[in-house]
Structure 1
Amino acid sequence: MSTPSPYEILGVTPSASMEEIKIAYRRAARATHPDLGGSEEKFKQVQQAFQDITELENPLSHDQTFQKPGEAPRAGFTARPFDERLRKTPQQPKAQMSTEYVPALSDASFTWLSKELSEQRIHGEPRKRGLFANRARLVREATTINLLSKNVLNVLPAARLVNGVSSRQGGHYEHILVAGYRMAVINTMTLPEGYYSFDGNVLRHGNKMTQPPVFNISALQRNFMQMNVMAFTLVLSPTGNRHEPVIEYHRNADPSLGTSPNVLNAAGLVRELKLFLGSGPTPNVVDRAAIAHLREAMY
């Protein structure tokens, strides 16, 4: 018997849209999850199938990887509707083009950020806030930096990660990832493995309810008017399993509607960041002024 394709495992056709695949994945994950009476082996197959379809090295070409010869590429789907027209035309992925600096590194009149710091991929590190250090938060932040470095920065050469940013309005942002003129703001939390449903406000696991950290990005959007700023909450597993916990959105809380926050496990976050940052109009550009301003706000 031949090995089923990722599409067959999820129960969709190769011509299915990413939205249909995402819905099928959530349905299959719930049906096979060990917490809900499913098989651990089948659950892992579902996780791997979804990863094979959506999480590839090239963040802009996953629509074409499993398509049949002569078949038109499928339209993509991501956490929010950020102009999918940019990803429908087969072309050389802009995110893989040579990195461009604005202003150029040769511009001697630009003194806000040195050439060395402009080329640096990661800025800042986990630090305590105030007099006391929260060890759990510091471990989460270090884990997240490692995750983003290995799975996002290595795919998007122009991406820059700035850690530990505070706003004048009192907000704290654990991680800010910038590529071109798109900015992803990431805060983290840790939850036990299992199946969670998210209604746009709280995560439910059996009879337990947990509210993700609330953080406002409106100040960042005002300060970086040239950027498309989006917030993400990363839910980490204590075991380091990138596919846990499993998070399913209620129908009226799906982030694609633009009204709910993005709450994702590690695998989901990596996938969505590649899509969001990698499909921007100029993902190969490093905005040196933006990085300089973010560095000034590091705590």
Structure 2
Amino acid sequence: MSSPSPYEILGVPQSASLEEIKIAYRKAARASHPDLGGSEEQFKTVQQAYQILSDEHGNARFEKSFQAPGQAPRAGTTSRAYDEKLRTSPQHPKAQLATEYEPRLDDASFTLLDRARSIQRVHGEPRKRGLFSSRSRMSRETHTINLLTKNVLNILPAARLVNGLNAPGGGHFDHVLVAGYRMAVLNTMTLPEGYYAFDGNVLRHGNKMTQPPALNITGMQRSFMQMNVVAFTLVLAGNGNPHEPVIEYHRRADPTLSSSPNVLNAAGLIRELKLFLGSGPSPNIVDRPVLARLLDRMY
């Protein structure tokens, strides 16, 4: 007997949209999660099915964003890993074109940022804030840097990661990712593995409630008017599983709504960052003045 397909595991037709797949996954994850009466084996099967289908649909959205008007979608879409498809695609999307710099690296009139730091992909590292340091925070940020380097920077050559910034108006940002004219501001938190419901304000796990860190990016958007700035909160689990914790959004807290924050586990964050940064205008551009100003904000 053949194994059930990812569509059969989630109980959706092959014509299902990405939103329908997400809804089905949330129901299946809730039904199969060990915390809620399921088994670890069932839960892993549901996770794998969702990963395959979301990668497939996400890749199609990514590639479609670069098609010329009237151009048909690329045929032969498979369920290969998202990053593998980007590397091997014979028709490279703009994000995979050779990195370009504005101003050019040989422009001697531009002195805000030298050639070496313009080419460097990762800037800064976890460090103390004030007199006291949090070992758990620094460990969490180190893990996030490694995660982003492996899964985003290796896929988007022009992306640049800046770590540890002073936020406009006070506070801190753990990480900022830029590619072309899009900017992702990212803070992190750690929660026990399990199933969480997010209502746009707090994460609920049984009778416990946890509020994600506030991320006010208004000042950042005003400081970088040419950029599209979006905030993300990465929720890490102590067991290292990128699909944990499972986060289900209430209908009015869907992250596709502009008023709702993006609160995601590691697998969800990587998928959304690649789509957000890679499908923007000129994602193969390194804006050197923007990068220089971000480096000036490092603490």
Structure 2 length normalisation: TM-score?
0.88
Structure 1 counterpart SS, 2:252 = helix
Structure 2 counterpart SS, 1:255 = coil
Structure 2 counterpart SS, 1:55 = helix
Q: Which residue is 1:93 aligned to?
A: 93
Structure 2 counterpart SS, 1:290 = helix
Q: Which residue is 1:86 aligned to?
A: none
Q: Is the CA contact (8 Å cut-off) linking 1:59 and 1:274 kept in structure 2?
A: no
In structure 1, stretches of 5+ residues that fail to align are 65-70, 75-89
Deviations 1:196-227 (A, max 9, x none): 00011110000100101012000110010010
Please report how far the alpha carbon of residue 46 of structure 1 lies from its aligned counterpart in structure 2 after TM superposition. 1.0
Q: Which residue is 2:11 aligned to?
A: 11
Deviations 1:59-96 (A, max 9, x none): 644678xxxxxx9679xxxxxxxxxxxxxxx9641111
Q: Which residue is 1:202 aligned to?
A: 202
Please report how far the alpha carbon of residue 149 of structure 1 lies from its aligned counterpart in structure 2 after TM superposition. 0.6
Matched AA of 1:179: A
Please report how far the alpha carbon of residue 30 of structure 1 lies from its aligned counterpart in structure 2 after TM superposition. 0.9
The answer to which structure, 1 or 2, has the higher relative contact order (CA under 8 A, 6+ apart) is: 1
Q: Is the CA contact (8 Å cut-off) linking 1:234 and 1:266 kept in structure 2?
A: yes
d(CA) in 1 for partners of 2:260, 2:201:
8
Relative to structure 2, which stretch is displaced further, 211-220 or 8-17? 8-17
Q: Aligned pair count? A: 277
Q: Is the CA contact (8 Å cut-off) linking 1:94 and 1:284 kept in structure 2?
A: yes
Please report how far the alpha carbon of residue 256 of structure 1 lies from its aligned counterpart in structure 2 after TM superposition. 1.2
Q: Which residue is 2:220 aligned to?
A: 220
d(CA) in 2 for partners of 1:226, 1:52:
35
Matched AA of 1:226: Q
Q: Is the CA contact (8 Å cut-off) linking 2:195 and 2:246 kept in structure 1?
A: yes
Matched AA of 2:4: P
Structure 1 counterpart SS, 2:140 = helix
> Could you tell me the percent identity over the aligned residues?
70
Relative to structure 2, which stretch is displaced further, 100-109 or 289-298? 100-109
| Residues 285/72 of structure 1: CA separation in 2 closer, same or farther (3 Å cut) | closer
Structure 1 counterpart SS, 2:295 = helix
Please report how far the alpha carbon of residue 2 of structure 1 lies from its aligned counterpart in structure 2 after TM superposition. 1.5
Matched AA of 1:102: E
d(CA) in 2 for partners of 1:119, 1:113:
10
| Residues 108/61 of structure 1: CA separation in 2 closer, same or farther (3 Å cut) | farther
Q: Which residue is 2:258 aligned to?
A: 258
Q: Does 1:34 align with 2:34?
A: yes
Q: Does 1:183 align with 2:186?
A: no
Q: Which residue is 1:114 aligned to?
A: 114
| Residues 27/91 of structure 1: CA separation in 2 closer, same or farther (3 Å cut) | farther
d(CA) in 2 for partners of 1:40, 1:242:
15
Map 1:273-284 onto structure 2 (within 5 A).
273-284=273-284
In structure 2, stretches of 5+ residues that fail to align are 64-71, 76-89
Superposition RMSD in Å: 2.0
Deviations 1:29-64 (A, max 9, x none): 1111111111211110111111122237x9644678
Q: Which residue is 2:105 aligned to?
A: 105
Relative to structure 2, which stretch is displaced further, 152-161 or 20-29? 20-29
Structure 2 counterpart SS, 1:174 = strand
Matched AA of 1:9: I
Matched AA of 2:179: A
Relative to structure 2, which stretch is displaced further, 176-185 or 254-263? 254-263
Map 1:96-175 onto structure 2 (within 5 A).
96-175=96-175
Structure 1 length normalisation: TM-score?
0.88
Structure 1 counterpart SS, 2:188 = strand
d(CA) in 2 for partners of 1:151, 1:195:
24
Structure 1 counterpart SS, 2:184 = strand
Please report how far the alpha carbon of residue 238 of structure 1 lies from its aligned counterpart in structure 2 after TM superposition. 0.9
